[in-house]
Amino acid sequence: MIEELKNLLVRSGASWVLWLLFGLSVASIAVMLDRARVFWAGREDITRLVADLHELLGKGDVAAARARVTKSRSAEAVVVLAGLSQWERGATAAEEAMAAATGLLRSRLERRLLFLGTVGNNAPFIGLLGTVIGVVGAFDALGQSSLLASSTQLAPERVMSTIAEALVATAVGLVVAIPAVAVFNYFQGLLAQTLTNVETLGHVLLTHIGPAAAPATKPSESQSLNG
């Protein structure tokens, strides 16, 4: 069993591992560019948006607030629009609508990030597999060459050269993994910042929607007291 596995590894060689790492590298770059486009296309000054919403909603101008959010390029604006669409139904309905929109936004922003994390975590192990296959092949060649007296003196040099070539797979695995992990962490930071901005804008909306609904109940309360 072991001998058969060894022969299979030796026959397959480590070149397919390098091709696999190359394919993963190309796919990782494609995912990086795609996620960069999604995150950077929605960048905006959230501080300014928060100030504008405070001002407009403080005046009770919901239509102007809707128009301001509609003009925004930020991903967070989608969540605020969901809350504004439920303005007349009260704070609870707006909060639930924003929660649902936040879930959809998070799903859209997290798309394909798991692939980057998987490549970053496993590319070194794939490279190590290539190195192990190369080392197995080197020692198999050493065992065969030691049977020939004429090539016994050349066997160590041959083995060292083969092992050096096998270590290239580990190096390539690290080269693929390091950028994938770095970019994955960067996008995770952007995602966390986006969700924080969503929470901030949601609080702005809920701050104003509460007092806005209060006057509608006060007349009836006062009438009941007078009655």
User: How much is the mean pLDDT over the chain?
Assistant: 81
CA neighbor of 166 nearest in space, from 143, 147, 145, 139: 139
Q: Quick check: 126 and 16 in contact, CB under 8 A? A: no
Q: Is 43 left (phi over 0), alpha (psi -120 to 50) or beta?
A: beta
Q: Determine if the pTM surpasses 0.85.
A: no
In this predicted structure, what is the pLDDT of residue 181? 95
Q: Say which amino acid occupies 108.
A: R
Q: What is the CA radius of gyration of the chain?
A: 31
Q: Which among 41-45, 90-94, 133-137, 180-184 has the top mean pLDDT?
A: 180-184
